[in-house]
Structure 1
Amino acid sequence: MQNGTDRTIMKRNHHVNQPLHPDIVLIHCHDLGRWLNIYGMPNVPSPNIARFAEHSVVFENAHAAAPLCSPARGALFTGMSPYANGIQGLSHNAWRYRENVLTAPERLRPLGYHSALIGLQHENVDPTVLGFDECPGQGFLPRVNQVVDATEDWLSQLAPVGTRDPLFLTIGTWEVHRPWPHEDYSPADPAQVDVPDFLPDNAGTRSDIADFYGAISQFDDGFGRLIAALDVALDSANTMVILTTDHGAAFPGGKSTLRDSGTGVTLVIRPPASWEVAPHRVSNVVSHMDVVPTLIDLAGGGAPAELEGVSLLPMLTGEAEGDPGRLVYSAKDYHDTYDPKRAVRSKSFAYIRNYEPGPKLQLAIDLEKSKTRQSMGDAHMEPRPNEELYDRGIDPAEQYNRAGDPEYAHIKAEYAAALHEWLTSIGDPIDKAPTPPAPARSRVVDSLPAVGRSAAPRATADW
């Protein structure tokens, strides 16, 4: 089923005489980073998310596997890095999954889950190929209010718990992607915004952030409606709700970089209430690639070897705090330009390798046209270094490159070796050769079957 018109499959239940697996809801938005009051930005208008966090586990150091939409989401929904799963650039530029790569709904289906996608996705131009059992709206209801309306309608038709399979529902919204026009979003007061350390604090930046806050506020309102609808239709005692975003916020030095401001993401997970987990925060580093192994673990399965993440369930239940020395990896290849780089980070350090010459910040077109860019000068146009190393203990905004500092030589060597080992393990050849563009889509692959008919009779003259 792809269009959601027939719900009969939802009424089958393989677990009538067994405890049900939890329903799982994954809510994901665009370009939010960690721009929320729960992450130390007190003036961000996000009260509904803050209330949700009061009953949840907040991951303070979660990272995307890429700082761009399609590659980030591809890793989120497969548990595999962009090179391994195939999506190394935007899906509308022909990037798509490699053959035999399985997505989260495809991993959960053998474990008894029924899946649905409502709203935005950015993994393929055709959402029906992503493995969901249902795609009501065909993945083309991007704005948050549309998405909430569609979700409320879909939930109103859902069979009761105990008469259906457990549910994996993903809900995606366009917000908070640029642009933020005033006819769509009401801006905040520029004097009352939080300006992060990686941005210049001036009138242009503050005006830009004020517009951004308008989009965040509308997303937060929609999020509050979503949680209310979910808590009516689903049993919160047996439902896990996950909130995340694809990558960092769309500001120069954020989105499209491999610094914390580019890969750092919101990750807030509300466990089933029946688990009686005390709300808490996790400071150790985790990855978007941990989500699929977590879902498989939750469903009672075992994560296959090709997945690059680890299950977060021990951290969710409070049984473990995670590994303080863990390394996670991220990558960038194609956005609107070719900008290849890879990174490895821990809680303490971040190491970035740039594989092509270029400016320190290679800005996407929406960032180049932003109010922030127009008011920040041109220092970011200076040539980039081949290597970057940041000491997060004293420089959490990752603004001071220590790669050339002799005192950090042993740290740089350690992290460079770890990055090389990761690239080797996944077969990524970026150390040796540039990443080619995505193979073009083909009508041979994507076309409909030929019409089976004989040739039309030739017209004859009637005289």
Structure 2
Amino acid sequence: MTQPDGTRPDIVLIHCHDLGRWLSCYGMPSVPSPNLERFAGNATVFDNAHAAAPLCSPARGALFTGLSPHQNGVQGLAHDAWRYRENVLTAPEHLHELGYRSTLIGLQHEHVDPDVLGYDEVAGAGFLPRAHQVVDAAHGWLSAQPPREARAPLFAAIGVWEVHRPWPESDYTPADPAEVEVPAFLPDTPETRRDIAAFHGSIRQLDEAMGRLFEALDSTLDPTHTLIMFTTDHGTAFPRAKSTLYDAGTGVSLLVRPPTAWGEAPARVDNIASHVDILPTLLEVAGGPINPALEGRSLVPLLAAAEPPAADDRVIFTEKTYHDNYDPKRAVRTRDFALIRNFTPGPKLALSLDLEHSPTRQGMGDAHLEERDMTELYDRRVDPHELNNVFDQPEYQEVQIRLLEALDEWMTTTRDPLLEGPIQPPKHRSRATDALPPLATHATTSISGVSS
């Protein structure tokens, strides 16, 4: 995409943990997020954006490669030894080829070693960097950058730990449990309200840090030629959200503020979008060609639309393979429907450990342990929280066939290994795996300095 003055924008991608769409700008007025709401008021807000997976490393892997987890290789958590395939390129590597200089500030969860991800610089590193700590590091890095005319365009990925569990009062001030909103997919119990109140405390701290970060970005980078994107990896850490393929599990916040040179007014877009669209978007913004190997599509036409985009019948795909255990499932969704295929028997909800130990779990009973349906279909027009499975109901036969065919075609085209049977866990990483060459076997020197 050619800018009006021939310049290419700096790009800032901000990503947090486990937020879903729990922000006041997404219709949850009790959530303490005024700074993100203010940012959204000057941005394009995507109301129907989804992660490619409902857990951290696979979600982030898709976000940064434009490929689904089974294509890029990260089908489970990075600290469980899942890795990118050797020939998969990340966003900083793609942008490097277009002349961008890239940096990672704060959190990533694609690999145990951030230095292998293709960034020119890793600043403010740390596996669990808190939001204010990351903003401090970002401000220092931004302040040290040369003037725009004296450097290459920048790509900065800025990641924060919040709002991942736990949310202790020693770190976050909880809200009043009586004032929080309980979504329809959760039981409205004292335990749930206490849990959500603690969650609000973490969101408040995230929002305060984001306010500081937006100020730092606007004071050091020129908003005229800077694109800022805010998103999260996947849905919130509550039962029937994180680690599921329901809307609450893959639905994400996605706020994009284009360069003011584009002259675009703030807007809301309800067209369905996916995290695999992010890399194609960044490549178009950076002036690169369309890459047919990527699964997504550029969102630039939706950012630069002269009028609200027309509704379309696009389908997107999401997946889960491993979290705490093997739980393979795939899903296809449109604006109006979501179809989920479970590939192994199991409970309706296989809770990850952080959810199993949550206050919400303590008050929800055991109905989620009942046997799951192997195929699920939800009519989002009347059931936006996806609670009523209508698969096999006669009036949905055409929808069933269409979505099952779409899912099968996608899995076949992308060579999903699940079609060949159970997917094995990756080889355990150890000192002997991915190691440096062995130490030379010539004579060594003892601590006392005497050769042995």
Structure 2-normalised TM-score?
Answer: 0.95
Is residue 2:254 matched to residue 1:289? Answer: no
Deviations 1:333-360 (A, max 9, x none): 1011111000000000000000000000
Using the alignment, how far apart are the partners of 1:421 and 1:442 within structure 2? Answer: 38
In structure 1, what residue type is equivalent to 2:394?
P
Using the alignment, how far apart are the partners of 1:322 and 1:113 within structure 2? Answer: 33
3-state SS, counterpart of residue 303 of structure 1: coil
5 Å-filtered alignment, 1:155-194, equals 155-194=142-181
In structure 2, what residue type is equivalent to 1:403?
F
**Shift, 1:431, TM fit:** 3.0
Using the alignment, how far apart are the partners of 1:305 and 1:228 within structure 2? Answer: 37
3-state SS, counterpart of residue 70 of structure 2: helix
The equivalent position to 2:250 in structure 1, one of 246, 251, 263, is 263
5 Å-filtered alignment, 1:87-126, equals 87-126=74-113
Q: Which moved more, 1:294-303 or 1:222-231?
A: 294-303
Q: Which residue pairs with 1:243 in the alignment?
A: 230
Using the alignment, how far apart are the partners of 1:242 and 1:137 within structure 2? Answer: 20
Is residue 2:355 matched to residue 1:360? Answer: no
CA contact (8 A) 2:70 2:417 kept: no
Using the alignment, how far apart are the partners of 2:128 and 2:215 within structure 1? Answer: 20
Q: Which residue pairs with 1:7 in the alignment?
A: none
Change (3 A) 1:75 1:323: farther
Is residue 2:206 matched to residue 1:207? Answer: no
User: How many residue pairs align between the two structures?
Assistant: 442
Q: Which residue pairs with 2:314 in the alignment?
A: 326
5 Å-filtered alignment, 1:381-400, equals 381-400=369-388
Deviations 1:130-161 (A, max 9, x none): 00000013344610011011111111111111
Deviations 1:75-110 (A, max 9, x none): 000000000000000000000100110000000011
Q: Which moved more, 1:102-111 or 1:297-306?
A: 297-306
3-state SS, counterpart of residue 332 of structure 1: strand
**Shift, 1:449, TM fit:** 3.0
Using the alignment, how far apart are the partners of 1:304 and 1:145 within structure 2? Answer: 36
3-state SS, counterpart of residue 111 of structure 1: coil
3-state SS, counterpart of residue 290 of structure 1: helix
Q: Which moved more, 1:243-252 or 1:136-145?
A: 136-145
Q: Which residue pairs with 2:40 in the alignment?
A: 53
In structure 2, what residue type is equivalent to 1:102?
L
Q: Which runs of 5+ in 1 are unaligned?
A: 1-14, 459-463
Using the alignment, how far apart are the partners of 1:407 and 1:165 within structure 2? Answer: 57
Q: Which residue pairs with 1:273 in the alignment?
A: 260
In structure 1, what residue type is equivalent to 2:64?
F
Structure 1-normalised TM-score?
Answer: 0.93
CA contact (8 A) 1:259 1:398 kept: yes
CA contact (8 A) 1:64 1:288 kept: yes
Using the alignment, how far apart are the partners of 1:61 and 1:322 within structure 2? Answer: 14
Q: Which runs of 5+ in 2 are unaligned?
A: 447-452
3-state SS, counterpart of residue 191 of structure 2: helix
**Shift, 1:28, TM fit:** 0.2
Using the alignment, how far apart are the partners of 1:303 and 1:115 within structure 2? Answer: 20
3-state SS, counterpart of residue 330 of structure 1: strand
Using the alignment, how far apart are the partners of 1:58 and 1:428 within structure 2? Answer: 32
**Shift, 1:440, TM fit:** 2.4
Is residue 2:207 matched to residue 1:220? Answer: yes
Q: Which residue pairs with 2:366 in the alignment?
A: 378
Using the alignment, how far apart are the partners of 2:49 and 2:445 within structure 1? Answer: 66
Q: Which moved more, 1:194-203 or 1:319-328?
A: 319-328
Q: Which residue pairs with 1:5 in the alignment?
A: none
**Shift, 1:429, TM fit:** 2.9
**Shift, 1:178, TM fit:** 0.3
Is residue 2:221 matched to residue 1:234? Answer: yes
Change (3 A) 1:63 1:457: closer
Q: Which residue pairs with 2:296 in the alignment?
A: 309
In structure 1, what residue type is equivalent to 2:145?
L
Q: Which residue pairs with 1:85 in the alignment?
A: 72
